[in-house]
Amino acid sequence: MEIRNFCIIAHIDHGKSTLADRLLEFTGTVTRREMKEQLLDDLALERQRGITIKARSVSMRYIHQGTPYEVNLIDTPGHVDFQYEVSRSLSCCEGALLLVDAFQGVEAQTVANAYNAMEHDLKIIPVINKIDLMHARADEVTEEMESSLGIDPDDVVRCSAKAGIGIEELMTAIIERVPAPTGDANAPLQAMVFDSNYDDFRGAITYVRMMNGTVKKGQKIKFLRAGSVHEVVELGQFVPQRKSCTELTAGQVGYLICNIKSLADVHIGDTVSTPGNDAAEPLAGYQRPKRMVYCGLYPSDGQEFSDLRDALERLAINDPSFEFEPETSDALGFGFRCGFLGLLHMEIVQQRLESESDIDLVQTAPNVTYEIVDTRGNKREIHKPQDVPDPNDIAEFRQPIVRCNIVVPSECIGTVMKLCQDRRGILRGNEYLSPTRSMISYDIPLAEVIYDLHDKIKSGTRGYGTLDYELIGYEPANLVRMDILVNGNRVDALSIICDRGDADRRGRAVAKKLKSEIERHMFEVAVQAAVGSRVIARETVPAMRKNVTAKCYGGDITRKRKLLQKQKEGKKRMKAIGSVEISQKAFMSVLSSG
């Protein structure tokens, strides 16, 4: 059978899931009655956030001018944190629908995704979606696509995923423009692992794109990078539910089930081949997922440590890009240092933990991964401020730099440039997409981006600015560890790594913020920020004058009870530093103080 493999790339909310649903319906893969809204976004959390987190695939059958086709849609995640997974999905396709909202126009991720697809040599079918909107501006958006990406206006397909307009034309374009996969069914087995998920009954399910050869049920396969050998217990395709078959051959997209108990044993980007001497070459482009953001997670009640560990283990089974290891903090007791692909990934994991288990969490300020070269020339990675060695031992302190592409309304360029410059950004490019919209590129330390840049760009552009970034490497910087002391005790969980020039300002801000968050005690509480032994800021929380409940004596007993109850609830999220109690809110406030 003829095969076409394609994906849909789009900026968030431009209608990717809706269009996928419409294509499944149009090809009869799913009937309208069966159609759940947004079928491909099947994780509850994804639906909540409206972001496709994990790539999925679905095989459709379609007859075009009398010829039957197998048309495989590979879904790609839309967020920057998951770029590596996007890139693996792209290498499984020959074509991509570049979907742009007829009102919103070209956005930062549209450009990033389009370049990515071009680098993978995909045939791009430009699509303008939502033409049913009253305020659609399809002609202008076509111009934006032409000027920013060199798209030929004659190639653009216009559709409305919601109203079902232009779907047949789109299907025809996929069949006629996307090249058929090349690959030899008789060559040695070579398949790309582009995704995996975990099934409670079947274990790991590995998503593959067959590049060469044939894989059959019952045969032995080898993951070339991991080096592990397994027997194929079941294989098949998603239509969209799992449907088993007896073999998959070059060009097809499907799944393998091999009795693998943990997702950690399936690496996205790995190559499936056969054990022995006639194995194929591993496919190019394999990378380990790199955790770029770390934070500490602690149960606010020390008793819940083992519950938290169980919850994290459960999570890690389903998400191999998340990692955790135990750590102890003087202030917070026993907890875990957790690594994430980015900030969004961190938020998702945290939300899952909170919704799937009933543990009260304290989270420390996130930090990026740093590199330190010590005076003996040894290089190591730093995942938390506490691990920063004595300044005298550091020969070079390096931080990750990202290339940011920012699409903004032209009148906001000045504001956004200032934001980037204030965050040590270096201008790399500035071009007009249309008379009213521009794209600027900056190289900026990732720490500054995760700190507040995204929010600041949104608020500085009334929500219209969009940001996308990719890691370009590590560069030496003048960084220091800043500590926070409460009554002379260092609160290890509040230490941060920042630029030396920023330390004073941030120290003052953190101390001030903490002062306003720490409740009064029976004694004076001193809050200090320090770099090494040098105190750079100090605030004092005055002592409390009387007992909070004193004024209730002899008075309204219910009110007193309420007050005590409130205090008790508050206590649950409290941590003692020496004899000072600090709330989780106070810890979190360090994050938001600039």
Nearer to ligand GTP, 131 or 250 (CB): 131
328 has binding-site annotation: no
Helix 167-177 crosses helix 16-26 at what angle (to 10 degrees)? 90
16 has binding-site annotation: yes
* CB 80 to ligand GTP: min, Å: 12
The angle at the Cα of 346, spanning 342 to 348, to the nearest 5 degrees, equals 120
* CB 419 to ligand GTP: min, Å: 25
Residue 443: how many CB atoms within 10 A of its CB? 18
* CB 171 to ligand GTP: min, Å: 16
Nearer to ligand GTP, 132 or 307 (CB): 132
H or E stretch at 54: none
Nearer to ligand GTP, 164 or 326 (CB): 164
Would you put residue 553 in left (φ > 0), alpha (ψ -120 to 50) or beta? beta
Residue pair 245/253 in contact by the 8 Å Cβ criterion: no
115: helix, strand or coil? helix
Residue pair 348/340 in contact by the 8 Å Cβ criterion: no
13 has binding-site annotation: yes
418 has binding-site annotation: no
218 has binding-site annotation: no
- Counting beta carbons within 10 angstroms of the beta carbon of residue 464, is it exposed (0 to 12), middle (13 to 18) or buried (19 or more)? middle
Nearer to ligand GTP, 139 or 393 (CB): 139
Applying CB under 6 A, the residues found at the interface with ligand GTP are 10, 12-18, 38, 41, 50-52, 78, 129-130, 132-133, 160-162
Nearer to ligand GTP, 78 or 320 (CB): 78
* CB 110 to ligand GTP: min, Å: 11
* CB 102 to ligand GTP: min, Å: 8
Cα distances from 499 to residues 121, 399, 507, 528, in angstroms, run: 40, 10, 11, 18
- Counting beta carbons within 10 angstroms of the beta carbon of residue 114, is it exposed (0 to 12), middle (13 to 18) or buried (19 or more)? buried
* CB 284 to ligand GTP: min, Å: 28
* CB 75 to ligand GTP: min, Å: 9
**DSSP letter string, 2-48:** EEEEEEEEE-TTSSHHHHHHHHHHHTTSS-TTT--TTTT--SHHHHH
200 has binding-site annotation: no
Nearer to ligand GTP, 81 or 443 (CB): 81
128 has binding-site annotation: no
Nearer to ligand GTP, 10 or 312 (CB): 10
130 has binding-site annotation: yes
Bridge partners of 538, per DSSP, are 528
Annotated binding site for GTP: 13-18, 129-132
Annotated binding site: 13-18, 129-132
